[in-house]
Homo-oligomer: A and B are copies of this chain.
Amino acid sequence: MSRVLVIEDDTHIRDLIVLHLGLEGLDTEAVGDGLEGLARAGAQAFDLIVLDLMLPGMDGVSICRSIRREGPNQDVPIMMLTARREESDKVLGLESGADDYLAKPFGIRELVARVRALLRRPRRSQLQAEAAGAGDRPIEIHGLHIDPSRRRARVRGADVDLTAQEFRLLFVLATHPGIVFSREALLTRVWPDRTYVTERSVDSLVKRLRRRIEVDPADPAIILTVWGSGYKFADV
């Protein structure tokens, strides 16, 4: 189930959005404050973020930039909302890194349709970078050494063989220690193309990965289960 974060101060609109996205089968979480939204976005991986441009305390553009700069939602589609109709706003919104833009007042059905479209759109940035062979630096964490360009992982000094998929999962989690990823979030981040794959498969993959890197797979110390939410890499 896709997770959506809604950042919107107007209670009425917020509830409306949550209601309708909920009816669409999306797991929707909403906050009314910019800073809180930013905190939420930094702590958990979502599949899409709906963001109001006009917020008390902190404006949407800054939030958008922050989200894009780093963290688990760097590559997540962002849908901007704004009360103003001016073209300059539109430009501003897209400049700051939003993927789509909707001017208030909008029809809720249109919002839903666009959200669906954004979710459907394959996310390729990460895969793309990997394919280009550019950029990914090795990381070192928790006694783990992970080197993407060599596709090599070492645990406590010993090399472990990982399949391509196990490796991607480990990499995604390890680069965001402490961040909770829902199964859905992992599906879009780890699976090469988001065909019809059950969330069950995530469990399987996690189990396989644990078997290879955990000292005691029955009592995981690295890949942790967050009951009711998903999985996370152990905090530092």
Are the C-beta atoms of A23 and B114 separated by less than 8 Å? no
- The answer, among B105, B117, B184, for a CB contact under 8 Å with A134, is B117
CB of A218 within 8 A of chain B?
Answer: no
CB of A82 within 8 A of chain B?
Answer: no
Interface string of A96-123 (1 = CB under 8 A from B): 0101000001011110011001001100
Stretch among A53-61, A197-205, A206-214, A223-231 lining the B interface: A223-231
Bound-state CA distance A149–B212 (Å) is 27
Are the C-beta atoms of A109 and B99 separated by less than 8 Å? yes
Smallest distance from the beta carbon of A113 to chain B beta carbons, Å?
5
A84 proximity list for chain B (CB < 8 A):
none
Are the C-beta atoms of A228 and B164 separated by less than 8 Å? yes
- Using A19-B91, A121-B105, A125-B109 as known contacts, say yes or no to A151 and B114 having CB atoms under 8 A apart: no
A125 proximity list for chain B (CB < 8 A):
109-110, 113
Interface string of A18-34 (1 = CB under 8 A from B): 01100100000000000
Interface string of A216-236 (1 = CB under 8 A from B): 000000000011110010010
Copies in the complex: 2
A88 proximity list for chain B (CB < 8 A):
none
Q: A107-B121, A133-B181 are in contact. List 18 more A-B contacts (CB 8 A).
A: A19-B94, A19-B95, A20-B95, A23-B95, A94-B108, A97-B109, A99-B108, A105-B121, A110-B124, A110-B125, A117-B128, A121-B134, A131-B185, A150-B178, A150-B180, A151-B180, A151-B229, A164-B228
Leading 8 A-B pairs by shortest Cβ distance: A164-B228, A117-B132, A150-B178, A151-B180, A99-B107, A113-B125, A133-B185, A151-B229
| A to B CB contacts below 8 Å, 26 in the list | A19-B91, A19-B94, A23-B95, A77-B107, A94-B108, A97-B109, A99-B108, A99-B109, A105-B117, A107-B121, A109-B125, A113-B125, A113-B129, A117-B129, A120-B134, A131-B182, A133-B182, A149-B179, A149-B180, A150-B179, A150-B180, A151-B180, A151-B229, A152-B178, A163-B228, A164-B227
